[in-house]
Structures are given as C-alpha cells and as structure tokens.
Amino acid sequence: LHPILWEVRQSKEPTTLGETLVARGLIELSLHQSLRERANSKLRADDLLITERYRERGYIGVERLSQTVIQVIEEGEARRTASTRLPSQDELPESVSASSGELTAELPASEMPQLPLELRNSGLDEKYDIIRKAGEGGMGAVYLAFSKDDPDHTKPLALKVVLDIAKSKDAAARFKREILATSFCAHETIIEIHDAAPTNDGSYYMAMEYIEGEELSDILKAEGPMPIPRFVRLLDQALQGLQAAHEANIVHRDIKPQNFRIAKRADGTEQLKLVDFGIARVLDAADSGAGDQFFKTMGGKITGSPAYIAPESITEPEIDQRADLYSLGITIFRVVTGRLPFVAKAPTEYLPMHLYQKPPKLREILPSAPVSLEFMVDKLLAKLPDQRFQSSGEALTFLRAHVWPEAIPDEPAPGSPEA
C-alpha cells in the first residue's frame, strides 16, 4: 500500500487511496464504500463528542488549555465522575468526621489548621508557609506561599500542586520539562522556577516565581483590544524572551495570550513574563544532556492550542522555533484586534484553516494599525516556515527598526542610540 499511497499523495488529481485501489482492481467498490462510510461515521461521532466536551467547558479549551483532544474528552468524563463522588471516611482529615450526611468540625475554629484541606497529607507545610489559593486549573491549583527558609516572607512563591493523583505522572513529566527548559534559557522575561518534587501523598508540586499581575488574555477580556503603543512595548519583551529560549534550542510550542503574564515594575512600567514551558521541546536534546527528559509528542498526537498552532505542528513530527513565531503572529492579531484571524465553532475546525486558509489582513480588521505591523503579522503567519522571519532575533530587529518608530514615534526603541 505504501507505494500507492505515496503516488496518491503526490498526484495533482483529487483522488483517494480507496478510489485508486478500486481503479486498479485491488479491492471491490463495495468494500471501498463500506470502509469509507465506517470511517466517516467514526469521524462524525468523534467530532460531535469533542465539540460537546468543549461546549461543556464554554469552549475555553479552544484557546485557554494546552491539551490534546483526547485529554479534553477524558477530562469531561473525569469531572462527571468526580462530581458524583463523596470522600470516603479514610480520606477525611482527622479533625473532621462524617455524621448524618454532614461534615462537622471537632475542633474550634481558632484551633483549626490553616493548611488547605486538599494539602493536608502532602507534606508541603514542612517546606512552605502556604498563605492562600491563588488559582485553579485542569491539573490542580496554585497557592501563594513562602519558603520556610524565608521566615520574613520577603520572596513570594507560586506553588503549583497537582490535586488529581491520577494526573500526577503526566504532571511530573510536564514539570520536569518546564524546569529543564526554563533552566536552559534564563532571562528576565521568562518565569523562574525554584523547586519541584513529589509530595508525600504521591502527587507533585512546583515552586516558581510569584508574579503579581494578570494574564494577557485576562487584560484583553477585561479591556478589549490593546492600544498599539502599549502592545508594541510588550511585544518587544515577548520577542526578547523568545530569543533567549530559541537561542537555548527551546521551542515553547504554546505561545498564546494565556502564557504571557503582565506585572508592574517599581517605576510603573509593565513587565512581561513568558510562562508555562510544560509542552516545550528541546532541539538536540541528546547533545544537551537532557536526553529522554524531553519526550516527543505523545503517540504522534498534535500538541498545542488549536487556535494558535502552526501548520507544520499539525503535519510534521519535528518542528523548530519558527513554529513559535507563527503562534506569536496569531497572538498579535488577537490582542490588537480583539479577535482571532481564523474563527471556528469547534477546535478541530482550526486545523485545516491553519493549513490552507489565508488569514485576513490586519488592517482590514484594524485600519489604524501601522503598515509595518501588518507586514510583520503577514510574515509571521506565512504557511511555510521558510517564508517567515527565520529567528525571533530577526523579528525583534524588524520590530525595533520599523514597527516601533511608526507606533511610538516620540519614544526611541530599546537598543537604539537615542535610548
């Protein structure tokens, strides 16, 4: 079959493998029709199931969560199971008992432990003072904490903890990947990770730099499209972070507004941080010493966020840093216009759009955008990697030489003689 399949793929005629096999007398037409109907039926069923899972999540998985389609399906099933399950007596903390269907505290409130209930058996209170829960997601929760070695609480940490034990192995792999990737590309625009290890109850945690700020996506949601001058300043920082990662042979693979956090510096200016290297990939990992710490995309599945993924991430087993630049182009379009260049109702609809559909011109949606920014976005969103900027450094140079002067004419670009 392989030689015939190769011929079909190379042919300019719109034919399929089944039709070719029938034409050559290798299979009966009835068999081809039967197989085609079975395959189409399965694809339709899968698509309906996937769409239903995303609908349950309010479609937040299209942009927000970096998960493969199968993970979205499994997450929906796990959530339904968990919602109907009560904790067993063995799982309850010592200070709580179950009676007549109610949970009753046996200690007065003043003597109740401050550690969150879900962390009681983790052992994290031996290393950290955990102040409060700062956020929650599909893998677990994030807590504001301070190391026991910092009794004056001068350096806040974000403690990411996997709360679902069933997911702890996958989370451990993601955490190891994130630690290694960020350690290879230390930069002021990249989040710093301090510690990671298993918990006493068989889960996993990671302690990282705590950023008092918001995701770029949350700012977009609250304020709408971002003014060009403000975003150009942030884009300069984003490209600096990507340049540091790419020069360390790291492909982030999940560039999108949700993975940029914006904080305020002491002087009131905005500081951007690139976060979540959980699905990052190290090129030449064997040479770098990382080895099998960096596993490839599981089972050949597509990894990344459907709305932002580069075309070659869909079709090729190996990608390079130019895939991040494509995702950055989608991000620029999203932040300055308030919409994505491709609009789909289901996550699977994005994939052929990235592969075949030409995105709209930036100035068709936002006529006030600088001409140079439209050119930059067009180049970033080229379908073929060879037609994009060939490095984040090249894109940064273009931004400072052309986009910055047009967008912020009264302020010299970083690195210029005037600056």
| Burial letters 322-334, b for 16+ CB under 10 A, else e | bbbbbbbbbbbbb
- Residue 161 β-bridge partners: 141, 205
DSSP 190: B
Residue 246, classed as helix, strand or coil, is: helix
The tokens for 301 are 């599945």
Do 95 and 104 touch, CB atoms closer than 8 A? Answer: no
Does residue 254 have an active-site annotation? yes
Angular region, 299: left φ>0, alpha ψ -120 to 50, beta rest: left
CA triple 352-356-360, angle to 5 deg = 105
d(C-alpha 306, C-alpha 349), whole Å: 9
- Residue 98 β-bridge partners: 103
d(C-alpha 147, C-alpha 130), whole Å: 9
Q: How far is CA 355 from the centre of its chain?
A: 20
Q: Which residues does 350 contact at the CB level (< 8 Å), separation at least 6?
A: 62, 306, 307, 309, 342, 344
d(C-alpha 146, C-alpha 125), whole Å: 10
Q: Which residues does 122 contact at the CB level (< 8 Å), separation at least 6?
A: 161, 199, 200, 201, 203, 205
The total number of residues shown for the chain amounts to 419
Q: Where are the beta strands (DSSP E) in 148-277?
A: 157-162, 193-198, 204-209, 213-215, 250-251, 260-264, 270-274
d(C-alpha 94, C-alpha 121), whole Å: 11
d(C-alpha 82, C-alpha 127), whole Å: 30
Taking residue 66's Cβ as centre, other Cβ atoms within 10 Å add up to: 22
Choice among 236, 254, 320, 324 that is catalytic: 254
The tokens for 132 are 């409060």
Active site residues: 254
